[in-house]
Structure 1
């Protein structure tokens, strides 16, 4: 089994570009509204983020439980939960840039866009790894082309 490595450009962005952007934005905001107001805004942002994470996390948990109780695959609910956790982690780091990205991942209005991007990225990775696409019941597609589909049940004697 080969292990996928994180691309070098992603590490560069995460470890160099994002911190520099955070420092730049903090300095710019501090120059406009002052240092103490900037700190107060960061604290208010953290409080708002904590409340939002708690609210959306509870909503995602209820949706996950409902999907499991109804017997359907909770793919959407799991993706939402992962996005809320990742958004919450971004909210924990001080700064306005990561907080903005975290809020976009947490808000129910903007989360579907992030969910679509996450689904596309995961699908590409699975296809690249050779995992066949799944049918509606979680079974791999085996048909090679268009043709009649015979639906039926398997009866064991």
Structure 2
């Protein structure tokens, strides 16, 4: 990983200088500088707009009781795009703009998700427990019961809360009357 980063730190500025020289030779120095500034301004505006939209989608997912995984990945892509567009250069600006395209982010999401899961060593297990308990089969969380919990040590007559992990008791959904 370190050699890749080191290679990028060396090669990206060289490539950016080469592109600046070529573009400056075709359209001139001042138009090239103006282009870089215009791209930065437009990119900032577009990033803000898409960032707010992504935040709104994440809030809506949380309100529905869903994990906003796609929205979090989009947010990470947008942060990376912002970093690329803050770096002076036309190549990094171009790559930043590519990451601002929602279709590109949708295309990249599964690859990043698989990469992250492989690095985290996470295993996803599906079970028929939800079906047997009458919980939704679409992967949603089922009933949410708010409350506070505390651990009571065996033999404690007072039932006073003790510091420690929260115990929530029975995780099955409440039985239906009838």
Q: TM-score, normalised by structure 1?
A: 0.79
Aligned Cα root-mean-square deviation (Å): 1.9
Q: Which runs of 4+ in 1 moved over 4 A?
A: none
Q: 1:21 to 1:67 in 2, by over 3 A?
A: same
Name the count of aligned residue pairs.
136
2:147 aligns with none
Change (3 A) 1:65 1:156: closer
Question: Do residues 29 (structure 1) and 60 (structure 2) align?
Answer: no
Deviation digits for residues 37-79 of structure 1, max 9, x if unmatched? Answer: 1001001111110111011101101000000011011111110
Match of 1:74 in 2: 68
CA contact (8 A) 1:42 1:95 kept: yes
Once the two structures are superposed, the pairs formed by residues 45-60 of structure 1 within 5 Å of their partners are 45-60=39-54
> Which has the bigger relative contact order, CA under 8 A and spacing at least 6?
1
The equivalent residue for 1:114 is 108
Structure in which a larger fraction of residues adopt helix: 1
1:97 aligned partner? 91
Q: Pick from 10, 17, 24: which aligns with 1:16?
A: 10
SS in 2 for 1:72: coil
| Structure 2 gap segments, 5+ residues each | 134-171
Larger radius of gyration: 2
SS at match of 1:71: coil
